[in-house]
């Protein structure tokens, strides 16, 4: 009897769809042993009746910072009562009240009353629980850089790290996480905070293609039924995610490609599913990157996209000559803009073959999508439109 290649209406490709959610915590962390060991070393003094040490976790998005912390915190919770870890997402909770309510809920196991609870009373409730169980508190402030524009970064660090001064508890540790590589969280702390905040720097570098593939293969094994995604397509997805330096893109690509196949009633993911999913995933990433460019960089990028669509010469010199009518700048400024596009991850500057050959400008996205992103990401008041780019 031949096995049908089509799914019945009540069948699915997903063994466990939660595996492909960004909040999923895997049982095994691939290729983050060094970071786990460093963080475990900082926690260890609390297991001996002392206080945990602090850290700054720094790395680009999609390099496993949040997953590593949450996995470590889960293990701590499962193995000891001497340490109470509290994870705070500072994109959502930026005010002192919101942060302390989150910590209170994780320390007590239930939320404080939604109204009528004074901030000082919430802190007292946290401290009393720690004191009653002789437990050390470790707070992870994920995306801690979000607290800086909110004006609460120094206040929260000061109050959390000095909790022991007002209440008889051990000095808490703080793990501050940031994806902003240009930001020094220690330097952003004022003098009173730096007197008690002595973080160890724990760096998270982008995963290689091989490492991305290992992570994706594990997710596929746990989350999908056998043979849904071939090894060839998994390699292709890993290549895309590694190129973007973000493993989350690979996870989302697998999920979206499977959803597309499932919608069509197919038991296998096809190359077309991956291509369609890739465009859906790349669009918001490209839009975000284009929005971070200067006006002149977007004008240059728009011209690069047009030349790429036309199949024109894409050497750096040829692009410069073609762009001079649209962007009247010298070679030095032009190369600064070009390097800015490469740093943003939108173009690759590929060395030419042979000695002294010019670099070639290669788009990492579809030229049409790039041109649309240049126009769609213009800032309020900008004159960047197709006509203004041509007539400038």
**CA gap 235, 210 in Å, rounded:** 9
Provide the pairing of β-strand 200-203 with 55-58: parallel
**pLDDT over threshold 50, residue 180:** yes
- Helices 119-132 and 96-108: crossing angle in degrees, nearest 10, is 30
Percent of the chain at pLDDT exceeding 70: 93
Q: Which two tokens stand for residue 199?
A: 């973080």
Indicate whether this model's pTM tops 0.85.
no
pLDDT in the model for residue 115: 62
Q: Which of 29-38, 117-126, 136-145, 185-194 is predicted least confidently?
A: 117-126
How big is the chain by its Cα radius of gyration, in Å? 25
Average pLDDT over residues 98-109: 96
Q: Give 57-84 pLDDT, tens digit per residue.
A: 999 889 999 999 999 999 999 999 999 9
148-166 core/surface letters (b: 16 or more CB in 10 A; e: else): beeebbbbbbbbbbbbbee
**CA gap 283, 95 in Å, rounded:** 32
**CA gap 327, 299 in Å, rounded:** 7
**CA gap 243, 27 in Å, rounded:** 26
Say how many C-beta atoms besides its own lie within 10 A of residue 54's C-beta: 23
The set of long-range contacts for 155-163, using a CB threshold of 8 Å and a minimum separation of 24, is: 155/96, 156/96, 156/99, 157/189, 157/193, 157/197, 158/192, 158/193, 158/196, 159/96, 159/123, 161/54, 161/193, 161/196, 161/197, 162/196, 163/123, 163/126, 163/127, 163/137
- Whether the Cβ atoms of residue 309 and residue 293 lie closer than 8 Å to each other: no
**CA gap 53, 13 in Å, rounded:** 44
Average pLDDT over residues 308-322: 92
Cα 72 from chain centre? 18
Residues 6+ apart with CB under 8 A from 248: 22, 61, 62, 241
pLDDT in the model for residue 3: 55
SS3 293: coil
**pLDDT over threshold 60, residue 389:** no
Higher pLDDT, 385 or 174: 174
Integer angstrom CA distances of residue 228 from 1, 12, 266, 297: 20, 10, 9, 42
Average pLDDT over residues 31-39: 97
pLDDT in the model for residue 381: 33
Please give the span between the terminal C-alpha atoms of the chain, in angstroms, as a whole number: 68
């Amino acid at each position: 009897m031949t096995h049908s290649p089509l799914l019945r209406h009540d069948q699915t490709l997903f063994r466990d769809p939660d595996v492909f959610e960004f909040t999923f915590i895997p049982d095994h962390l691939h290729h983050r042993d060094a970071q786990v060991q460093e963080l475990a070393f900082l926690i260890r003094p609390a297991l001996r009746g002392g206080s945990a040490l602090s850290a700054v976790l720094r790395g680009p998005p999609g390099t496993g910072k949040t997953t590593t912390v949450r996995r470590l915190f889960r293990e701590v919770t499962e193995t000891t009562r001497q340490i109470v870890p509290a994870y705070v997402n500072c994109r959502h909770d930026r005010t002192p009240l919101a942060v302390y309510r989150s910590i209170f809920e994780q320390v007590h196991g239930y939320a404080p009353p939604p109204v009528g609870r004074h901030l000082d009373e919430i802190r007292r409730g946290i401290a009393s629980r720690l004191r009653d169980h002789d437990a050390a508190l470790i707070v992870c402030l994920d995306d801690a850089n979000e607290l800086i524009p909110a004006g609460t970064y120094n206040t929260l660090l000061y109050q959390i790290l000095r909790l022991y001064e007002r209440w008889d508890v051990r000095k808490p540790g703080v793990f501050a996480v940031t994806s902003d590589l240009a930001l020094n969280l220690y330097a952003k702390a004022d003098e009173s905070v730096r007197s008690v905040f002595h973080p160890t720097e724990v760096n998270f570098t982008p995963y290689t293609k091989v490492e991305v593939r290992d992570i994706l293969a594990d997710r596929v094994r746990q989350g999908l039924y056998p043979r849904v995604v071939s090894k060839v397509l998994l390699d292709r997805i890993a290549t895309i995610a590694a190129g973007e330096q973000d493993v989350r893109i690979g996870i989302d690509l697998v999920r979206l490609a499977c959803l597309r196949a499932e919608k069509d009633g197919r038991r296998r993911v096809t190359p077309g599913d991956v291509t369609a999913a890739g465009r859906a995933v790349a669009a918001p990433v490209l839009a975000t990157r284009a929005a971070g460019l200067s006006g002149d960089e977007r004008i240059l990028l728009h011209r690069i996209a047009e030349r790429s669509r036309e199949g024109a010469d894409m050497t750096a010199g040829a692009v410069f000559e073609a762009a001079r009518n649209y962007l009247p700048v010298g070679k030095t400024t032009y190369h600064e803009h070009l390097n800015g596009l490469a740093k943003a991850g939108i173009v690759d500057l590929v060395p030419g073959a042979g000695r002294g050959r010019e670099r070639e400008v290669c788009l990492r996205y579809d030229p049409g999508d790039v041109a649309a992103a240049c126009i769609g990401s213009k800032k309020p008041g900008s004159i960047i439109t197709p006509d203004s780019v041509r007539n400038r």
